[in-house]
Amino acid sequence: MNQQEIRESILEVTRAIENVNRVFEKRAAELREAGDAQGLQQWTKACSAMRDSGNIYITWARHYAQLTEPSGASEEEGGFLDEGAVWDENPSGP
């Protein structure tokens, strides 16, 4: 596997994780609209854990990919995944 294939694979995984985060955001919005404060609070914690786990996964993937790049390679652009608008640590409910 060459460097281009590695970068493309990491990008593909990043996009997939971001898609999961967006779907989770939609579920949080549904819970908010339904007025389910307890469900929203639990879901928000789960969403935060998933987002953080995804960021860790991608960060390590980029780190290990750089180990195989020719010397002098710079840090990958981009940082963390798109967190979306739902990641309010203290949801106010409906």
pLDDT in tens, 6-59: 999 999 999 999 999 999 989 999 999 999 999 999 999 999 999 999 999 999
Whether residue 81 is predicted with pLDDT greater than 70 in this model: the reply is no
Whole-prediction pTM: 0.67
More confident residue, 71 or 82: 71
Give the pLDDT of residue 2.
Answer: 87
Give the pLDDT of residue 32.
Answer: 94
Instruction: For residue 85, give the amino acid letter.
Output: A
**What is the three-state SS of the chain?**
CCHHHHHHHHHHHHHHHHHHHHHHHHHHHHHHHHCCHHHHHHHHHHHHHHHHHHHHHHHHHHHHHHHCCCCCCCCCCCCCCCCCCCCCCCCCCC
